[in-house]
Structure 1
Amino acid sequence: MLRQSLFYFFIISLSLSSYAQTGTICHYKIVEFKKFEIKKPGDETHRYAVETLNKAREAALEFEFVLQFNDSVSSFQLVNQMNNDVNKPGVAAIGHAVIGKGKFYQNSKKGIWLKTSKTAGKKYTVQDSINFDWVVTKETKIINGFTCYKAELPENGTIEEVWFTPQITASFGPLGLCGLPGLIVEVKRGTFVLSLVEISTNEIVDIEKPDFGKLISAEKYNKMMDKIRSTIFDKN
């Protein structure tokens, strides 16, 4: 009887554990990416730099990103880079740098936002609070079968707009964006558009809190980056 009770306890525990790890997996790809223009045709250095950026752009169009989430926790990161002729050593790295590097993690219950970053040869996990001042508009459009609403971040200089769907009641999205009443399906950032291409529900998700180098606040990290940028510009 004791052995049978232990067996049932084990089955129930296993079921609860599996349920706790069940969530949603979303695949995103870059669906639009403007070509970089050669503005100084006579400048060979400029021409070479722009041609390299456009090769990186082509490589980035092959990147695949994955967002995983359950009721309260999410992670987002690049999961693979296609090995083709355009994706030569260095070019893919430039493409990744253009769209943004690192792994994003959010815990909505604890209000924690994390991003991994490698800066000046050192590893950091940047921590911030989840605080996005979204302005939701009445503008709608259909993206991959979902009715989506447009939202903007007026104080943000890089995120032009996002589209989210209340049909999926998860306040997560790609690139560390979150806090809307529905899944963020598409992001327009600078010269590229990142869009949801596939979604699977009731999947086993593996969401780990980043442990990448030194933990630093977003405020201190931004001050450090400003100092690095000013040093570079002073030298030039």
Structure 2
Amino acid sequence: MIRILKFWSILLLSFSAFSQKGTICHYKIVDFKEFEIKKPDDETHRYAVNTLNQAVEATLKFDFVLQFNDSVSSFQLVNQMDNDANKPGAAAIGHAVIGKGEFYQNSKKGIWLKTSETTGKKYTVQDSIDFDWVVTKETKTINGFTCFKAELPENKQIKEVWFTPQIPTSFGPLGFGGLPGLIVEVKRGTFVLSLVEISTNQPVNIKKPDFGTLISAEKYSKMMDKMRGTIFKKN
């Protein structure tokens, strides 16, 4: 009898975890600055830049998905295959330009995770959820939502983000969060990622990533710096 009760308890817990209700958001690249051809007479340079711009065009078809409930979120690029025979490898290059991997946040535990694969090795990078946002008075409407502009002055990659208090969650794409509302748009480097579709009260199944070696963000950053130093070291 005890074994039967344990079986049903496990089954009910599993069903409850699988049938969580949450929100699913789809994001797209809506703007991307093309690379300029600075050496028109250099065929190799011209070919490389044209290839990169084909990759830029390919990223406009990418679908990024953020799903979240009250306390956890997951964001990642949906696998995108090359469908254009005239631009072989463009999607793969686009992945390299935009970045791959899953971002996971647990707001109750203050945990931030990102999966990464470097030189054939898998890592789950862990950090705390700690963003020093500066919220401005600027507003604009994005897909019907009134949004406020926020900046990270010490982050050179992020130009700006726009969030809306109309969707009361602290999550956002690309692992960003900690604002009083959903991050609707991110201007990062040469591209703009924007919310294009949102569905509430949807079944979501968000699991903490278990991908290779767990490493702190500090150690991972030092490892990458050392790796870059080795690659570009002068003989």
> What TM-score results when the alignment is normalised by the length of structure 2?
0.90
Map 1:55-204; keep pairs closer than 5 Å: 55-81=54-80, 83-85=82-84, 88-204=87-203
Count of residue pairs the alignment pairs up:
226
Partner of 1:3: none
Q: Tell me by how many angstroms 1:39 deviates.
A: 0.8
Q: Tell me by how many angstroms 1:93 deviates.
A: 1.4
Partner of 2:209: 210
CA contact (8 A) 2:54 2:87 kept: no
CA contact (8 A) 1:169 1:182 kept: yes
CA contact (8 A) 1:168 1:182 kept: yes
CA contact (8 A) 2:64 2:77 kept: yes
Q: Tell me by how many angstroms 1:94 deviates.
A: 1.1
Q: Tell me by how many angstroms 1:80 deviates.
A: 3.6
CA contact (8 A) 2:82 2:91 kept: no
Partner of 1:39: 38
Secondary structure of the structure 2 residue equivalent to 1:234: coil
The letter for the 1-side match of 2:53 is N
CA contact (8 A) 2:124 2:215 kept: yes
Percent identical among aligned pairs is 81
Give the distance between the partners of 2:64 and 2:212, measured in 1 at CA: 23
The letter for the 1-side match of 2:133 is W
Give the distance between the partners of 1:156 and 1:147, measured in 2 at CA: 25
CA contact (8 A) 2:152 2:160 kept: yes
Q: Give the stretch that moved more between structures: 100-109 or 87-96.
A: 87-96
Relative to structure 1, the CA distance from residue 43 to residue 214 in structure 2 (aligned partners, 3 Å threshold; closer, same or farther) is same
Relative to structure 1, the CA distance from residue 162 to residue 32 in structure 2 (aligned partners, 3 Å threshold; closer, same or farther) is same
Q: Tell me by how many angstroms 1:228 deviates.
A: 1.1
Give the distance between the partners of 1:84 and 1:220, measured in 2 at CA: 38
1:26 aligns to 2:43 (yes or no)? no
Secondary structure of the structure 2 residue equivalent to 1:195: strand
> What TM-score results when the alignment is normalised by the length of structure 1?
0.90
Give the distance between the partners of 1:19 and 1:119, measured in 2 at CA: 31
Over the aligned positions, Cα root-mean-square deviation in angstroms equals 2.1
Q: Tell me by how many angstroms 1:18 deviates.
A: 6.8
Secondary structure of the structure 2 residue equivalent to 1:31: strand
Give the distance between the partners of 1:235 and 1:210, measured in 2 at CA: 38
CA contact (8 A) 1:124 1:215 kept: yes
The letter for the 2-side match of 1:153 is L
Give the distance between the partners of 2:87 and 2:25, measured in 1 at CA: 27
Give the distance between the partners of 2:150 and 2:212, measured in 1 at CA: 34
Q: Tell me by how many angstroms 1:45 deviates.
A: 2.1
Give the distance between the partners of 1:122 and 1:90, measured in 2 at CA: 22
The letter for the 2-side match of 1:112 is I
Q: Tell me by how many angstroms 1:55 deviates.
A: 0.8
Give the distance between the partners of 1:192 and 1:100, measured in 2 at CA: 12
Unmatched runs of 5 consecutive residues or more in structure 2: none
Give the distance between the partners of 1:86 and 1:161, measured in 2 at CA: 36
Q: Tell me by how many angstroms 1:208 deviates.
A: 1.2
Q: Give the stretch that moved more between structures: 178-187 or 20-29.
A: 20-29
Give the distance between the partners of 1:166 and 1:174, measured in 2 at CA: 16
Q: Give the stretch that moved more between structures: 81-90 or 162-171.
A: 81-90
User: Structure 1, residues 123-153: CA drift from partner, whole Å, max 9, x if none?
Assistant: 1000000010000001000000000000000
Unmatched runs of 5 consecutive residues or more in structure 1: 1-5
